[in-house]
Amino acid sequence: MSLVTREIQTNFAPHLKDSIEDQKLLERLDLEAIPKHIAIIMDGNGRWAQNRRLPRVAGHRAGIESVREVVETAARLKLNILTLYAFSVENWKRPKTEVTMLMRLLKEFLNRELATLMDNDIKFDTLGRTEELSPSIQRELDLAKNKTSRNHGLLFNVALNYGGRAELVDAFKHLWKKKQNDAQDKLNLDEQAIADCLYTAGLPDPDLLIRTSGELRISNFLLWQIAYSEIWVTKTLWPDFRKKDLFEAILSYQSRERRYGGLSTE
Ligand code: IPE
Ligand code: IPE
Ligand code: MG
């Protein structure tokens, strides 16, 4: 095992052992320049199952292994924030059986992984209209949030019943109320005021946005926050996404120049 690999080895399960390919990619990564916040649109579970003539839910179940590997790898790389898009406000359009299964898998994941989150100092949180989810899911989410609230490592954010436009509507409603209670008219209606009312208030915007399964669209994810995120799309379907894919995405990110509308510094 190379030095760099050993340095960032943490107490992860043995299933996370690095392959030679993983190690080679890891050695090329600049560990001092890991993006602070990575957001992922996890897509392609259905197609993964379809390719194997399995029901769609088999793809969702297989996708959990990818979630586990990506969360653990993110913690290992000392990423500050990982935001995963798990269920959109539009996903209610799917058959009830699929939605029920997705919720059940979420519960199962939280139940099974809580100890690992604790072991790795990972803090769990959600973004989205979680108050519209079933009481039993909300209980499970609250339990995980409370239990991990004092952890200081990776912030593991799951977007659940999330929509970028819904978030903006909620933010504007919130801002409207603030303005009404602002007797001295001190509140400036600027970009910061809007950012402060988003679900992500206080968090830095994603540096890197990853989408799996090759679709070239945003699907209503973090519309405000990705204004200057670097985008990386892979044809890999989510259940096949492994740490090497995450390393490749970060390597691509590290080769780019972020200009934010300015001019090249080279
Ligand atoms: C992503 O996979 C998971 C969710 C949106 C919940 P999909 O279920 O969208 O899979 P495809 O896009 O149909 O292959
Ligand atoms: C985006 O995937 C939502 C999540 C990953 C939760 P979808 O499969 O719902 O998006 P579209 O329908 O392809 O745009
Ligand atoms: Mg999809």
Q: Per-domain residue ranges for the chain?
A: 33-163+205-254
Q: Quick one: residue 219, left, alpha or beta (phi over 0 = left, psi -120 to 50 = alpha)?
A: left
Active-site residue 207, yes or no?
A: no
The pTM (predicted TM-score) of the whole model is 0.94
Annotated active-site residue 30? The verdict is no
Ligand of minimum distance to the alpha carbon of 219: 2
Helix (H, G, I), strand (E, B) or coil at 82: strand
Nearest ligand, CA 211: 2
Give, as one character, the DSSP assignment of residue 216.
-
CB 233 within 8 Å of CB 110: no
* Helical H segments across the chain, by residue range: 3-7, 20-28, 45-51, 56-76, 96-119, 135-148, 164-180, 191-195, 243-254
Distance in Å, CA 56 to ligand 3 centroid: 11
Ligand 1 mean position to 161 CA, how many Å? 14
* CATH topology (fold) of 33-163+205-254: Undecaprenyl pyrophosphate synthetase (3.40.1180)
- AA letter at 232: W
Provide the residue-wise pLDDT of the chain in tens; the chain has 266 residues.
333 343 444 444 545 689 999 999 999 999 999 999 999 999 999 999 999 999 999 999 999 999 999 999 999 999 999 999 999 999 999 999 999 999 999 999 999 999 999 999 999 999 999 999 999 999 999 999 999 999 999 999 999 999 999 999 999 999 999 999 999 999 999 999 999 999 999 999 999 999 999 999 999 999 999 999 999 999 999 999 999 999 999 999 999 999 999 999 87
Ligand 2 mutation pick, 66, 91, 162, max ligand atoms within 8 A of CB: 91
Tell me 27's DSSP state. Answer: H
- Give dist(CA 110, CA 5) in Å, integer: 28
- DSSP one-letter code for 14: G
Query: Which 3 state secondary structure label does DSSP give 211?
Result: strand
Residues flanking ion ligand 3, Cβ below 5 Å: 43
